[in-house]
Amino acid sequence: MAGLIDKLADTIPDELKGLRSLRTTFQSRRSDILAYFDHPGTSNGPTEAINGRLEHLRGIALGFRNRGNYLIRSLLHAGGMGRLLQPYL
């Protein structure tokens, strides 16, 4: 992939605006693109899952003014208080 990025940088004429933009993007994001190939099988899925839960929680917790109540609601929603609420199960 590094060879392809280098080849694009050398062969695309400046008159082709769309490909010039692609060339610039590839050059500026070169380390990110090559990192994808250095670490196969990685995904940002877990990060997106956590972000989705936090966004959902923020949506259902509108109106809480007490920080303690917001924290308790967050723990209830995330399942962090299950052990405290049902200790004998």
pLDDT tops 80 at residue 62: no
Please give the pLDDT value at position 71. 77
Question: Domain residues of the chain, as ranges?
Answer: 2-38, 45-85
Please give the pLDDT value at position 85. 57
pLDDT tops 60 at residue 89: no
Please give the pLDDT value at position 35. 85
Report the distance separating Cα 50 and Cα 54, nearest Å: 6
Whole-model pTM? 0.44
Q: Of 17, 22, 18, which Cα lies nearest the Cα of 8?
A: 22
Taking residues 45-61, report their average pLDDT.
Answer: 82
Q: Of 83, 44, 80, 78, which Cα lies nearest the Cα of 58?
A: 78
Taking residues 19-31, report their average pLDDT.
Answer: 87
Write the DSSP assignment of 28-76 as a string of letters: HTHHHHHHHHHSTT--SHHHHHHHHHHHHHHHHTTT---HHHHHHHHHH
